[in-house]
Amino acid sequence: MELIFSEESLDRLNIDDLEGLMTRAATMAVEGEEIDPEPVVVSVTFVEPEEIRELNGQYRGKDAVTDVLSFPQFDDWDDLPEEGEIVLGDVVICMDQAARQAEEFGHSLEREVLYLFVHSIYHLLGYDHMEEDEKREMRQKEEDVMARLGLTRE
């Protein structure tokens, strides 16, 4: 599993071993879908509220700041390459929004960022939460990964 961070992304965050935690989380999620994590690549970028608002408007038609956006590379799992890298897609996280939500929910910034990342990884893996049964399945997978990381709801 390889996570590619935009140059300034990790430097401005004050979370111990965020890259390691994110790599472990993504590996668990991918392995749970019976995909070999070795060739999997995900791009991760942390942005300011204005940038995520612009992206949210451009790609989702919503003129609002959001916490995380996912940009999957594949619409159909039959399109996954059988050899070489598997670039799942891009994850964009707004740290200001993550910090607000961590405070609102009464848990650490670390937990919020990791949850948003795991949520986004499942979107890259083809999961959604538009229907109630899909939402339950996705939430269960997210919470399983978070529990294995030791970052349960406090």
Residue 12 has pLDDT above 70, yes or no: no
Tell me the H-state helices in the chain: 18-32, 49-60, 95-105, 109-124, 132-149
Q: What is 97-138 written as a DSSP string? A: HHHHHHHHHTS-HHHHHHHHHHHHHHHHTT---SSHHHHHHH
Residue 154 has pLDDT above 60, yes or no: no
More confident residue, 11 or 132: 132
More confident residue, 152 or 138: 138
pLDDT tens for 50-71 read 999 999 999 999 999 999 999 9
Phi, psi dihedrals of residue 117, rounded to the nearest 5° = -65, -50
Neighbours of 77 (CB within 10 A): 10
Largest CA distance in the chain: 44
Dihedral sign for Cα 54, 60, 66, 67, please.
Answer: negative
Q: If you classify domain 2-149 with CATH, what class do you get?
A: alpha beta
Pairing of strands 2-5, 40-47: parallel
Region of 136 please: left (phi>0), alpha (psi -120 to 50) or beta. alpha
Under DSSP, the state recorded for 153 is -
pLDDT tens for 68-90 read 999 999 887 778 888 899 999 99
State the pLDDT at residue 47: 93
Q: Where are the domains of the chain?
A: 2-149
State the pLDDT at residue 18: 85
